[in-house]
Homo-oligomer: A and B are copies of this chain.
Amino acid sequence: MRTLVRDLPKNTDKTVTIQGWLHKKRLLGGLNFITVRDRSGVVQSLIEDKIEIEKLRGMQIGTVVEFAGKVVADERAPGGVELHDVKVAVVSPVTDEPPIEIDKPISHKPEHLETLFENRVLGLRNLQEQKIFKVRAALTQALREYLVENEFIEIDTPKLIAEATEGGAELFELEYFGQHAYLAQSPQFYKQIMVGVFERVFEINHAYRAEPSATTRHVSELTMLDIEMGFVKDHQEVLDTIGGTVKHTLTKVYESYADELKSLQAPELKLADDIPAFTIAEIHERYTKATKTDTTKEKDLIPDEERFICDYARKELGSDLVYATDFPLEAAKFYHKVDAVKGVTKWADLLFRGIEIATCPLRENAYEQMIKQMTDAGLDVDHPGFKYYLQAFKYGLPVHGGCGLGVDRLVQKTIGLNNVKEAILFPRDIHRLTP
């Protein structure tokens, strides 16, 4: 019977069997400390018996072992217990020294990221790296949980699509049984279609961007949470739902993974009852005033403005989340709802700790207006790529809106990582297709 490391304190003075990986060795002559890792943690074993320690001669970190021994309480030991009088069994030997030390902190400095990813297979065995991806799993689980509780139905839409409706510059193209296909940049058309079916839908899945830019913000294969909801009163209801989802998720994960987040040196979580909101124009104005850099002609926020307004919201308003609202009309895409009177687009960005994590627009839902906006945008409404999408509008869609939220960025900023790639197990960018 295997005992997990985390259950050892319950078994003090008993003899148990643990199974795991050799995680750390300290051979001090007669006194040998061997740390074993399993999925629940690490424990130190004290091996004095020469015959037993001999079995580990030449065995490198990663060796799969089974140790039978007595659980001894020792407050100096990590976890409060040690294993003594150990009988060693090598289950799967590792005889080559690994290329990296997994029991030491692994550098995430920008200049070391290539090394980080090149050694990812082993580096992920490091306890700190593991925490990043436990937090990631918990974040997506909490997102799902909140949405399901709020009557959103999870959908599963294809990533292979037939048409590059908005121009194909940033689309990956492939050959598909003699036709051309593309990898979807977003499930937007499908989720809007599904509003006509279920009113409230979401999807967590991959999206593909053939952006030839190498930044700390971009990857070519990303994970998105897409939400779409119909029969909303107004844009604010959409923003409240998205904000509620993210607040629930952060609160829950900060509670359940408090130790992990602390040990990863994640920033303290600051959430206000209402997410502060500033119009794009206001942010430009404040930023221009503060920095003497004139951004008032920009259609979107520049990255430094995202940091600027987030710093302000955190320091002055106690909120890590902030909405940038009322994008200028010039920024509107054909599917946005515009407020012609105020001269703005009903589109907000949700910013989190210095970066946009979600675009949250209200959609144009009236068929005739949609046709007009597409025509005005120079799009061919008879393009086959719009055929099914436009059916949904022609045969009735309510007022609706939603968001595309970058899950990778949410993980990155929750933990406080510099580069979005650090939040992805095996990231893909312009230079990297492996591991």
- A contacts, CB < 8 Å to B: 2, 19-22, 38-39, 60-64, 91-92, 94, 96, 98, 120-122, 124-125, 129-130, 133-134, 136-137, 140-141, 144, 148, 151, 153-162, 172-177, 179, 181, 183, 190, 193-194, 196-200, 205-206, 208, 210, 212, 220-221, 223, 231, 365-367, 384, 387-389, 391-392, 394-399, 424-428, 430-431, 433-435
Contact = CB atoms under 8 A, between A and B. Distances in A.
Given A19-B231, A396-B21, A425-B190, A133 B155 contact: yes
A221 to B, nearest CB: 5
Counted per complex, copies of this chain come to 2
B160 A134 contact: no
Contacts of A174: 172-175, 183
Contacts of A221: 158-160
Contacts of A19: 231, 398
B157 A133 contact: no
Contacts of A179: 433
B130 A198 contact: yes
Contact of A433 (B61, B151, B161, B198): B161
A82 to B, nearest CB: 21
A433 to B, nearest CB: 4
Contact of A124 (B38, B121, B194): B194
A395 B122 contact: yes
A396 B433 contact: no
B433 A120 contact: no
Given A140-B154, A175-B173, A434 B162 contact: yes
B121 A425 contact: no
From A177, A197, A427, name the one whose CB has the most chain B CB atoms within 10 angstroms. Answer: A197
B426 A190 contact: yes
B141 A148 contact: yes
A54 B147 CA distance: 39
19 contacts: A19-B398, A22-B396, A63-B396, A94-B394, A94-B395, A94-B396, A98-B395, A136-B156, A140-B156, A141-B154, A156-B424, A157-B425, A162-B433, A172-B174, A172-B176, A172-B181, A173-B175, A194-B425, A388-B435
A170 to B, nearest CB: 12
B158 A426 contact: yes
A365 to B, nearest CB: 6
